[in-house]
Structure 1
Amino acid sequence: MEMIPMMQSFVFQQPASVLIRTMPLITLISLSYLGFSEIIGKHLQYSKFWNVNPQSNSNQTKLSSKTGMLMLYGPACLAGFASFALFPDGGIRFLLLKLALTIHFFKRLLEVLFVHKFSGGMSLDTAIIISVAYFASTASMIYVNHLTLGFPEPLIYLKYLGTLIFLIGIYGNFYHHYLLSKLRHKTERGYKLPKGGLFNLVICPHYLFEILAFFGIFLISQTLLSLSCAVGSALYLAGRSYMTRKWYLSKFENFPVGVKALIPYIF
């Protein structure tokens, strides 16, 4: 997958390996397919979409949401921590990338343990698919950046801007997860209309800030693979947020129609 000249100013030259050169395209296609599948009703089975198609769930192994979420983020978090031992050197960019990925998934584990209130469940198949995707993308982004050590730096330096965007994204994601956790008491299992923060404008602001965090990670690493991961994740979360808004519209007669899915006033 060759880079066009304009991209060469802000993305590292790709290593010579055929596998490494094809990974960005494979990643983008795979994540885009998952986003399209959400829109046509073929959901990854977790959260509020666990019971959308009960017949298809009858033959699947069900996990508790908490167990499933720990499976989702645990391997990727371990990959982040392991990268400090496996690749102890590499300069400030590589350090920032390892920190960003590790912090992102460690934060998600802490939220699962201490913030989220769960309902529904998760299929084992879904847990495996997402867990493998997170682990593979985390390990691959770290490894590809390791391979670029010694390559000429991109003409435009974006790692510090990326760090700022990542921090905004991870804080906004946490803040809106916290607001969701305050919607119901420990004994409650039903869904309520979220409020506060950007929930007055979009139904999935936590996804919006997660997308910001992923683009922050791309700007830190400045590789084509991390760009594909960011764009692909954005497309998947856009599909998921679109269907989440549609789900709320079907469940709540008083859902404010002016509240968009992901981007205030636009989408």
Structure 2
Amino acid sequence: MWPPFLYPPPASVYVAAMSAVSLMSMANAGLAELRGKHMAYSKFWHVVAAGAGGNTKQRGGGAVLSSRDGMLVAYAPALAAAAASFAVPGAVDGARAQVLAAALAAHFLKRVLEVLFVHRYSGSMPVDTAVTISTSYLLSTATMIYAQHLSRGLPDPPVDLLYPGVAVFAVGLAGNFYHHYLLSRLRADGGGGGGDKGYKIPRGGLFELVTCPHYLFEILGFFGFAMIAQTVYALAVATGTAAYLAGRSCATRRWYESKFDEFPARIKALVPFVL
């Protein structure tokens, strides 16, 4: 029997293929994080300056951007796509499609505003990493809206999760922002221990229980998308995102353990008291 909380899958080879690709690629990226093969950004990647005239190269060659510019490249196209969907005739017909597009726009607008006004950066990001992340977010945003468009005319799911999904998304958005703010204040206080300038053991909020509460709330936000949309594709993206961020959270916890002798054993990676 088909799950009562999902629309039947539309007759679209593209959406079906993207559902499988999104789930498998993100899950594989999560496994790679567990194995120590990290995506080239954040504390897990270091770039060096090389060459004359101020040219900057990443380790192994290739151009880099400042972390701030790299994150803007990563998030801005998805924000533009979500906002532009309201101007495309028929793209967001119906309340559910409009709420989904608005939630996606709010999610990436928050990210862009955090990049501009909240986050504090000290490193660089390889251009190819920024483009990879940007392409992934752009495709997932556009495809989520497209899959919702294709659900028009299909039988509505017996279980309506639209409004619970809005609530879950709002909690995820707020919790993610709050813990990003705590991280920014930590960096503002100066360098940390462990031999890595600018890093400390985070404190406050759910940082008292897990290493990456910002990832936990980001996962909630993506499952909020899935509940609003109730499409197979949105659920595949949320599940894949959860798998990736679970792997990255475990890698982050290992990193803190390796850098800080006093790192509390009681603090889990992602889910309080569990994982």
TM-score between both structures, scaled by the size of structure 1:
0.93
Paired residues of 1:158 and 1:219 also in contact (CA < 8 A):
yes
Shift of 1:266: 0.8
Relative to structure 1, the CA distance from residue 186 to residue 65 in structure 2 (aligned partners, 3 Å threshold; closer, same or farther) is: farther
Distance in 2 (CA, whole Å) between partners of 1:138 and 1:213 is 14
Matched, 1:265 2:261: no
Residue in structure 1 matched with residue 153 of structure 2 by the alignment: 150
Shift of 1:190: 1.2
The one-letter amino acid paired with 1:31 is M
The one-letter amino acid paired with 1:59 is G
Residue in structure 1 matched with residue 29 of structure 2 by the alignment: 34
Which residue of 9, 14, 22 corresponds with 2:9?
14
Which residue of 175, 191, 201 corresponds with 1:193?
201
Distance in 2 (CA, whole Å) between partners of 1:89 and 1:73 is 21
Distance in 2 (CA, whole Å) between partners of 1:58 and 1:17 is 40
Q: List alignment gaps of at least 5 residues for structure 1.
A: none
SS of residue matched to 2:125: strand
Relative to structure 1, the CA distance from residue 187 to residue 252 in structure 2 (aligned partners, 3 Å threshold; closer, same or farther) is: closer
Residue in structure 1 matched with residue 262 of structure 2 by the alignment: 254
Residue in structure 1 matched with residue 218 of structure 2 by the alignment: 210
SS of residue matched to 1:57: coil
Matched, 1:245 2:247: no
The one-letter amino acid paired with 1:80 is A
Paired residues of 1:117 and 1:186 also in contact (CA < 8 A):
no
Residue in structure 2 matched with residue 161 of structure 1 by the alignment: 164
Instruction: Map Cα deviations across residues 42-80 of structure 1 (whole Å, 9 max, x no partner).
Output: 1111010112999x8232322211011001101100001
Which residue of 62, 65, 82 corresponds with 1:63?
65
Distance in 1 (CA, whole Å) between partners of 2:62 and 2:269 is 29
Matched, 1:98 2:106: no
Distance in 2 (CA, whole Å) between partners of 1:126 and 1:89 is 31
Which residue of 19, 42, 47 corresponds with 1:47?
42
Distance in 2 (CA, whole Å) between partners of 1:262 and 1:127 is 25
Shift of 1:234: 0.4
| Runs of 4+ with >3 A deviation | 186-189
Relative to structure 1, the CA distance from residue 95 to residue 168 in structure 2 (aligned partners, 3 Å threshold; closer, same or farther) is: same
SS of residue matched to 2:33: helix
TM-score between both structures, scaled by the size of structure 2:
0.91
Residue in structure 2 matched with residue 234 of structure 1 by the alignment: 242
Distance in 2 (CA, whole Å) between partners of 1:38 and 1:181 is 24
